[in-house]
Structure formats: structure tokens, C-alpha cells
């Protein structure tokens, strides 16, 4: 590695510490150990002759000098990522690897069979799926394709909406059979235990619907993922508002009441404009668009009830 590479590598470590606020978190994000990040930051501060971070109780915070260098490093990162996207966009071969970011319910319940079918068509391409509620950056090439449920996709990305989403109230068959024997009507939320989402999901339609329709003291369990809601309801904890596309195909669940549509939110396939002509990106997005369109009746709640 030459000196220029080493200098950029030091700046990559600075960016990671600035983003994550600690040496240990930066090390995990970069796949290195804590001592490597500390050594890189110490060397960078020595070469620059300034202190770049203040270590505060809440984590590492950029000094004034560090902030100036951070802006330079961000510009370098953006320029390198733009160059990589432009070069990658010329690659028409459907081989190598493709990084896809999506949410947990799609990773677990919707995508596996589609990914298996895509693999049979393109065995030379490896797909790396990263499950994250927060969007990874396609601009910085943290991912090549995003599959997101959103009402308003980022303006710097291009793509298409492939399906709407529908939700309904469900309980497990075992739970509802027991409730009926105990004289608890299924249409009375006051008589049932519920599974809800925690405060980190307050912006979602799911959490807002539960807040409007379920007495707070009936929510006996709150979790921080939609998948956890699905599995808690399946286990018989109580009722929950679930995606129809997940619950309707399963014999474990029974739908109660009408579909609750999330009219604004749709499933989007997204990529960066510079990558839209890359062979593996185009092949994946075209295949998944067809797959989601075929699933639309299921995802929009027309296959159960």
C-alpha cells in the first residue's frame, strides 16, 4: 500500500468514528478491531499536528480542526463513490455480487423464494441482503439496490413502486379458539391482549393505528420489529396488526375485520441513477418487479379474510 492509499485509509477511519461516535462502533462498521482504529486516529492526529476529536462522556466529537478535515474527507468519499458508480454502470455482465438493503419482514417472509428463483437464472451472481430499518446509503455504495416500504422515496434515487401494502388484525388460531371458549368476542379490543411496536415506530401507520384503536393497558408486549410482532401473535400472545401478505398464507393466523390499507406507503425498488444500466442491477430490479407484481393481490390483502 502506497502513502496515498494509507492517507485515504486514515480518512476512512476518521469518517467512521465521526459517523458512529466511538472507536468500538467504528471498528465494528469497518470490520477491524478497536486498536486498529485507535492507531489510525493517533497517526492521523500526529501527521496533522492537531487534535481531531474530543472524547466526551457521550462519545467522540469532532474538534474544529477535525470538522474541517471531516468535510474534506466527505468530499473525497463522494468523489470516489461517484467514480465507482460510473464505472460500475458500464458493467453489463450478470456476475459478481449485488448488495441489497431491505426491511426484516421482506427478508424473512417475501424475498427468499424470489431470491431462490433469481439464483437459478443467474448462478454467477451472489446477492448480499442487508436487513436494516434505516436506509443504507446507495450514494456511498453501501448498497446497490434498496427494497423499501415508503410513501416518499429519496429524490436522489430512481425506481418504481411495485405493490401497495395492506394490514389487518390477526390472532393465532389457537389464541382465538381459547378466547372464544372464554367468552371473549373477537371484535372487542378491550377484551384481548395485544402486541404493539415500541416508540421507535411511532411514525408508522401500524403503530398509529394501534394507538387509535387499542386501549393502552391492553398492550401487554411491545417490540422493536414487525417480525417480532408477527411471531409473538403466532405464538398466541394476543392480537396484532399484521401485514396481510405475511399472515394470510399461514394457517396459523385468522384475520379479524376488514383490511386496513396503508394508502400512502408502497413497496419500492430503488437504485442510484448511475447504477441503473449496470447489468446485474437491471436484471435484479426487472426480475423483482415482476415477482412483486405477481404478489400484489397477496400484499394488498385480497387473498384472505
* Structure confidence at residue 155 (pLDDT): 80
**Does 96-163+265-299 match 165-262 in CATH topology?**
yes
Q: Are 269 and 281 in contact (CB under 8 A)?
A: no
Domain 3-88 has CATH 1.10.10.10: yes
Q: For 241-278, where are the alpha helices, taking DSSP H only?
A: 244-247
CATH superfamily, domain 165-262, is Periplasmic binding protein-like II (3.40.190.10)
Neighbouring residues of 221: CB distance < 8 A, sequence distance ≥ 6: 193, 194, 195, 196, 232, 237, 238
pTM of the entire predicted model? 0.66
* Structure confidence at residue 133 (pLDDT): 60
* Structure confidence at residue 4 (pLDDT): 44
Quick one: which of 54, 36, 35 has its CA closest to 12? 36
* Structure confidence at residue 121 (pLDDT): 92
In the chain, % of residues over pLDDT 70: 90
Q: What residues are paired with 99 via a beta bridge? A: 128
Q: In the chain, where are the structural domains located?
A: 3-88, 96-163+265-299, 165-262
* Structure confidence at residue 127 (pLDDT): 95
Q: Phi and psi for 255 in degrees, rounded to 5?
A: -80, 140
Architecture of domain 96-163+265-299: 3-Layer(aba) Sandwich (3.40)
Q: Phi and psi for 240 in degrees, rounded to 5?
A: -160, 155
Q: What residues are paired with 243 via a beta bridge? A: 167
**Could you say which residues of the chain have pLDDT below 50?**
1-6, 136-137, 139
* Structure confidence at residue 84 (pLDDT): 67
Amino acid at each position: 500500500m502506497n502513502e496515498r492509499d494509507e492517507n485515504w485509509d486514515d480518512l476512512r477511519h476518521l469518517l467512521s468514528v465521526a459517523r458512529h461516535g466511538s472507536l468500538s462502533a467504528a471498528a465494528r462498521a469497518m470490520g477491524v478491531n478497536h486498536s486498529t482504529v485507535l492507531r489510525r486516529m493517533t497517526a492521523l492526529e500526529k501527521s496533522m499536528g492537531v487534535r481531531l476529536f474530543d472524547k466526551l462522556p457521550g462519545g467522540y466529537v469532532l474538534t474544529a480542526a477535525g470538522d474541517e478535515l471531516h468535510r474534506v474527507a466527505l468530499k473525497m468519499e463522494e468523489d470516489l463513490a461517484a467514480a465507482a458508480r460510473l464505472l460500475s454502470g458500464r458493467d453489463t455482465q450478470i456476475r459478481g455480487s449485488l448488495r441489497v438493503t431491505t426491511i426484516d419482514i421482506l427478508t424473512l417472509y417475501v424475498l427468499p423464494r424470489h431470491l431462490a428463483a433469481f439464483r437459478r437464472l443467474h448462478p454467477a451472481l451472489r446477492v448480499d441482503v442487508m436487513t436494516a430499518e434505516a436506509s443504507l446509503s446507495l450514494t456511498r455504495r453501501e448498497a446497490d439496490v434498496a427494497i423499501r416500504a415508503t410513501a416518499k422515496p429519496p429524490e436522489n434515487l430512481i425506481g418504481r413502486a411495485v405493490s401497495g401494502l395492506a394490514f389487518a388484525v390477526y390472532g393465532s388460531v389457537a389464541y382465538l379458539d381459547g378466547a372464544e371458549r372464554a367468552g371473549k368476542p373477537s371484535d372487542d379490543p378491550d377484551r384481548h391482549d395485544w402486541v404493539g411496536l415500541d416508540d421507535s415506530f411511532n411514525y408508522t401507520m401500524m403503530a398509529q393505528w394501534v394507538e387509535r384503536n387499542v386501549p393502552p393497558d391492553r398492550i401487554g408486549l411491545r417490540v422493536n420489529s414487525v417480525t417480532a410482532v408477527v411471531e409473538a401473535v403466532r405464538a398466541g400472545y394476543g392480537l396484532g396488526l399484521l401485514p396481510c401478505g405475511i399472515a394470510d398464507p399461514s394457517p396459523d393466523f385468522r384475520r379479524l375485520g376488514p383490511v386496513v390499507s396503508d394508502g400512502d406507503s408502497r413497496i419500492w425498488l430503488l437504485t442510484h441513477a448511475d447504477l441503473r444500466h449496470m447489468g446485474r442491477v437491471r436484471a435484479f430490479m426487472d426480475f423483482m418487479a415482476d415477482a412483486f407484481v405477481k404478489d400484489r393481490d397477496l400484499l394488498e390483502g385480497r387473498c384472505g379474510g
